[in-house]
Amino acid sequence: MIKKFVLMLSAITAMCLISKAYSMPVIGEDAPAFKANTTRGIIDFPHDFKGNWVVLFSHPADFTPVCTTEFIAFQELINKFNALNTKLVGLSVDSVEHHKEWIKSIKNLSFDNKNDIEITFPVIDDNKKEVAKKYGMLQNNNNDTKTVRAVFIIDPESKIRAIIYYPQSTGRYMPEIQRLLIALQTTDAFDVATPANWMPGDDVIVPLNENLESRTSQELKEQGITKHSPYLYTKKLDKGTICDKIFK
Query: Listing from the earlier edge strand, what are the strands of the sheet with 53-58?
Result: 41-45, 34-38, 123-125, 86-92, 53-58, 149-154, 160-166
Integer Cα distance of 155 and 119 in angstroms: 23
Integer Cα distance of 20 and 134 in angstroms: 8
- At residue 149, the 3 state secondary structure works out as strand
Bridge partners of residue 183, in order along the sequence: none
Closest CA to 60 of 141, 142, 150, 131: 150
Helix (H) or strand (E) holding 51: none
Residue 235 burial class via C-beta count within 10 angstroms: exposed 0-12, middle 13-18, buried 19 and up: middle
Bridge partners of residue 43, in order along the sequence: 36
Backbone angles phi, psi at 13, to 5 degrees: -60, -45
Q: Is 67 marked active-site?
A: yes
Closest CA to 117 of 86, 159, 85, 75: 75
Catalytic choice (54, 55, 67, 150): 67
List, by residue number, the catalytic residues: 67
